[in-house]
Amino acid sequence: MNDVTEPVSATLAERAKRALGRRNLIFIGLMGAGKSAIGRMTAQALGVPFVDSDHEIERVSRMTISELFTAYGEEEFRALEARVLKRLLRSGPRVVSTGGGAYVNERSRRQIKKGGLTVWLNAELEVLWERVNKRDTRPLLKTENPKQTLENLMRARYPIYAEADLVVLSRDVKKETMVEEVLAAIADCKKAETP
């Protein structure tokens, strides 16, 4: 097997960049879908800045996401998240990865839809579980049966995520393959850029 990572097609990246225009590209999906990793690589391919909204929330609050959930609860966390997203989406183009619950929050969802082109990284339960069960940093999975909790989150959130402009299947393939699929989806997107 060849361990050399293959570069993303420059032509495809250019087509995607033209289709994106001045808009932001916002990744949504459940924890473990690859929003941060694929988002960062997509930003690099497009030659635009990348911002992880969870990292930005931690930076401005000087607390981890888990600490924020513990200290203030989910409702207060979502209010902070909405404020941070509003600020991040004011200008573009940039690639933004969001927390798994951001798009579910109605206020944040309105800001995200207004702020750019949305890409849902849609993943099956087993793919997500394989990715998230190794770390104990997911506050919503600190339950008696975390895999069942993850499945419940899928049932509740997937119909809302389905409102995204673009959907790309997240699965166990090379990250470069996922980035190519995201870029192809952007390049083929028919949603017109709003001035």
All structural domains of the chain, each given as residue ranges with its CATH number in brackets, are 14-181 (3.40.50.300)
99 is in an annotated binding site: no
Closest-CA residue to 119 (of 170, 82, 56): 170
71 is in an annotated binding site: no
pLDDT tens for residues 76-96? 998 999 999 999 999 889 999
For position 179, what pLDDT does the model report? Answer: 95
For position 87, what pLDDT does the model report? Answer: 92
- In the chain, the N- to C-terminal Cα span, in Å, equals 46
35 is in an annotated binding site: yes
pTM score of the predicted model: 0.89
185 is in an annotated binding site: no
* Rounded CA separation 175/18 (Å): 22
% helix / strand / coil in the chain, to the nearest 5? Answer: 55, 10, 35
* Rounded CA separation 111/83 (Å): 10
* Rounded CA separation 179/40 (Å): 10
100 is in an annotated binding site: yes
Point out the residues of the chain with pLDDT beneath 50. Answer: 1-5, 194-195
* Rounded CA separation 33/170 (Å): 6
155 is in an annotated binding site: no
User: For residue 117, what are the β-bridge partners?
Assistant: 25
Tell me 26's DSSP state.
Answer: E
54 is in an annotated binding site: yes
For position 7, what pLDDT does the model report? Answer: 59
Angle between helices 175-187 and 35-46 (to 10 degrees): 60
* Rounded CA separation 84/87 (Å): 5
33 is in an annotated binding site: yes
The answer to whether the CB of 69 falls within 8 A of the CB of 80 is no
34 is in an annotated binding site: yes
